[in-house]
A and B are shown apart, each in its own frame.
Chain A
Amino acid sequence: MSSPYRGLGVYAELTDRIEKSLSRFGIPRLIISGFLLLLFILALIMKMDLKILISDSLVRIGMNGILVLAMLPSLRCGAGLNFGLPVGVICGLLGGVLSLNWNITGFAGFFTAIAFSIPPAIIAGYLYALLLERVKGQEMMVGTYIGFSVVAGMCIFWLMAPIDNPALIFAIGGKGLRYTLTLNDTYAKILNNFLSFSLLGITIPTGLLLFFLLFCVLMYYFFRSKIGLAMTAVGANPMYAVSSGINVRKMRMSGIILSTVLAAIGIIVYSQSYGFLQLYTAPLYAAFPAMAAILIGGASLARASISHVLIGTILFQTLLTIALPVTQTILQGSDISEIARIIISNGMIIYALTRAERR
């Protein structure tokens, strides 16, 4: 290349490379990261305590992580975003209520809750998957309303449940589980406090983060296994999967069941950190923040990986955690973090739904 154009060539190459890496990084992810950076700078200017903000963010990342991870199998097996996440969440709550009813404390209680939530989650996930198999192409819409109606139906169950532990039921009337059940006497924050330590004033919830990472590693190896690879093939190209002898139906169903089971475990991890089991209508919109997080991480309906889960959870949860105190300090009382949450999470989902898929 002759010398006069050389500079231009390098420039063009540079912009080209920037453009490519931008599109790989994703414009929405860029905007969200920029917004997050802005919030951190504002927090610094306002002389807010960054250590507390970061500690809180770490807790929120750990407590929501497994719920986000639950989106991965359903995206991978080609069923789209799992709008029916509340189905699994309800099973988790069921396990939690049982462990509370038997009054098992500490790690024993935590693992009892998980152990007793997995069988119902497998059954519910199987039934849910059977239904989704029949409504191919409309999984997301049907899933949403199945999730909603399961939550509403379970409201009646919580009211009529044959449980008479006075700590769990309404003080007046003698029937019906309370709206929120405290875990303070059993296993509240048991993961958060496990091996937790303080680093430069930042509290690290070691147990919580390790538990989340453990599940990420498990999922990573699952998707490297024979079943996991078959599942990915079904999601990526069903025709190819059929021609290489994979049982497409079975793989899609296992993906949805796995997603439901992860949701059940995820809500127990969430609850132990939050300190309460929230019953009744609380799980209604459980799927939305999880969907938003994995999409912010860069996943699309056609492609999703563990790294999307990790990046998305970190970005989205940090944003939500620090947006509240920062905007409250700046705007003196009026709270836009809730509004920001609604706009960002639903905006991300719309972005994913309107992007053209190559199938």
Chain B
Amino acid sequence: MQEKTAPPTPRLEDRILAVLSRNAVPVFFAVLCLGGIIAARLDINFLVNEVLARLGRNSILVLSLLIPVMAGLGLNFGIVIGAMAGQIALIIITHYRLTGLTGICTAALLAIPFALLFGWLTALVLNKAKGREMVTGMILGFFANGLYQLVFLVLTGTVIPIKDEMLLLSSGIGVRNTVDLINVAGSLDRALDFLWNGLILVNWGPLRLGPWRVPVFTLVLTGLVCAATSFLIRTRLGQQMRAVGQDSRIAEVAGINVDRIRTTAIIISTILASWGQLVFLQNIGTMNTYNSHEQVGMFAIAALLVGGATTRRATIWNALIGVLLFHTLFVVSPLAGQKIFGIPQVGEYFRVFLAYGVIAVALALHAWQSSLRRKTAKQHGEKENSLESRPQD
């Protein structure tokens, strides 16, 4: 409110206030993080190590959400399906005993056709549910999970003729609940480790910083995805996507094939998500065949929203800051819960509550704003329509 009355050369305090109010969500979560860190009396080195690892393994999944937002599809809850494509690739390379970097690169290549197919199918469904993409995408994720279980729990070993003691359950039917990824574990994280291995150690008064383990190559990959995304935005395809995202009817009139652009956006997102899941799982080191992908969509979306994104506008910085804040809170909240309430479960439930709550509040706020805008547009519309000649109608 105060920014509106600010003079042409605003004072420093006003400018800071304006920045704060524009970024209210990330600021709120930053304060929450700081409070938690202080309450839990957390070891800074432990925190930095944890957050760096989480930044490496989660960023690509969150970045995969950006392009559908730009194309007006909202938050793509369907990245769960992309994650499944990544896991299918991992199951295949585990079966063929591929190891190390070769293994993970093969998996990345193998994931592409699956992600292409799944993304195309997702887009087919979402194009039939315009205006309800998010809820449809979410249910589609649950539905695909059913098919995934059918394939790997029942059909593998029966219809799909595989004999593999390491991979299958003792009955010979169905993939084990956990697949050990020891052969590819950390292969991306450590690919450039000779450059950095916790080199820096600073004694800064009472505070001792370092050495941290930094997943250098994963962070480089994340940087590459960021660069590719911002490049894509500048291309012709990116411009068309933005046009579709702004107003699909006007885009249609301008000669853009709206359904095709939306399909492309979903396919790109699905492929990125499958790679994101590969990066995530090689860092974790084991795969819960039937659970690892379930929560992917929710956590990625919550992180993006914590970073200040909305369902209509999301930037690379929203994604990166969001991962940083959300996962700091993720590390801190159980410990803070333990310290404040004496019950660690409180913190455990608090972070689940946080993830759901963030999404609920962000979605509600956005829907509220757009319905307000529609109302005011209606009121203004009558005046403007009488002035304009309205050539398009």
Contacts and interface: CB of A to CB of B under 8 A. Distances in A.
B341 interface: yes
A93 to B, nearest CB: 16
Contacts of B350: 156
Contacts of A48: none
17 contacts: A134-B367, A135-B367, A136-B367, A137-B367, A138-B363, A141-B135, A142-B360, A144-B138, A149-B357, A152-B349, A153-B353, A159-B349, A288-B142, A334-B174, A343-B143, A346-B139, A350-B139
B136 interface: yes
A146 B343 contact: no
Contacts of A288: 142
A10 B371 CA distance: 54
Contacts of B343: 159-160, 173, 175-176
Given A149-B353, A160-B341, A354 B135 contact: no
A138 B368 CA distance: 9
Dominant SS among interface residues on chain A: helix
Contacts of B360: 142, 145-146, 148-149
Interface in B218-245: none
Contacts of B132: 140-141, 353
Which 9 pairs, one residue from A and one from B, show the smallest C-beta to C-beta distance?
A: A342-B146, A135-B367, A145-B360, A343-B146, A149-B356, A152-B353, A138-B367, A346-B143, A155-B349
Given A141-B134, A334-B153, A134 B356 contact: no
Nearest to A354: B128
B10 interface: no
A245 interface: no
Contacts of A347: 143, 146
Interface string B349-370: 1101101110110011011100
A336 interface: yes
Given A134-B371, A353-B129, A153 B345 contact: no
B209 interface: no
B19 interface: no
The CB with the most chain A CB atoms within 10 A, among B136, B139, B146, B350, is that of B139
Nearest to A349: B139
A349 B146 CA distance: 14
Interface in A107-161: 131, 134-138, 140-142, 144-146, 148-149, 151-153, 155-156, 159-160
A160 B142 contact: no
A155 B353 contact: yes
Interface of B: 125, 128-129, 131-132, 134-136, 138-140, 142-143, 145-147, 149-150, 153-154, 171, 173-174, 341, 343, 345-346, 349-350, 352-353, 355-357, 359-360, 363-364, 366-368, 371
Contact of B143 (A134, A137, A138, A342): A342
Nearest to A347: B143
Given A149-B357, A333-B171, 5 more contacts: A137-B131, A144-B138, A145-B360, A151-B356, A354-B125
A339 interface: yes
The CB with the most chain A CB atoms within 10 A, among B353, B359, B360, is that of B360
Nearest to B365: A135
A346 B148 CA distance: 13
Contacts of A350: 125, 136, 139-140, 143
A160 B134 CA distance: 34
A83 interface: yes
Given A152-B352, A334-B174, A134 B368 contact: yes
A222 to B, nearest CB: 28
Contacts of B143: 342-343, 346-347, 350
Nearest to B347: A156
Given A142-B364, A146-B360, A339 B154 contact: yes
B126 to A, nearest CB: 9
A159 to B, nearest CB: 6
A312 B140 CA distance: 21
B145 A342 contact: yes
B365 to A, nearest CB: 9
Contacts of B353: 149, 152-153, 155-156
A282 to B, nearest CB: 13
A158 B349 CA distance: 11
Contact of B371 (A136, A145, A152): A136
Contacts of B136: 350, 353-354
B342 to A, nearest CB: 9
A144 B141 CA distance: 14
Nearest to A350: B139
A348 B367 CA distance: 26
Contacts of B349: 152, 155-156, 159
The CB with the most chain A CB atoms within 10 A, among B147, B149, B353, is that of B353
Interface in A35-51: none
A141 B154 contact: no
A145 B366 CA distance: 14
Interface in A333-359: 333-334, 336, 338-339, 342-343, 346-347, 349-350, 353-354, 356
A145 B171 contact: no
A15 B138 CA distance: 39
A4 to B, nearest CB: 44
A145 B149 contact: no
A145 B356 contact: yes
Contact of B356 (A137, A138, A148, A331): A148
A57 B168 CA distance: 34
A288 B125 CA distance: 19
A135 B368 CA distance: 5
Contacts of A131: 364
B142 A346 contact: yes
B171 A353 contact: no
A339 B142 CA distance: 11
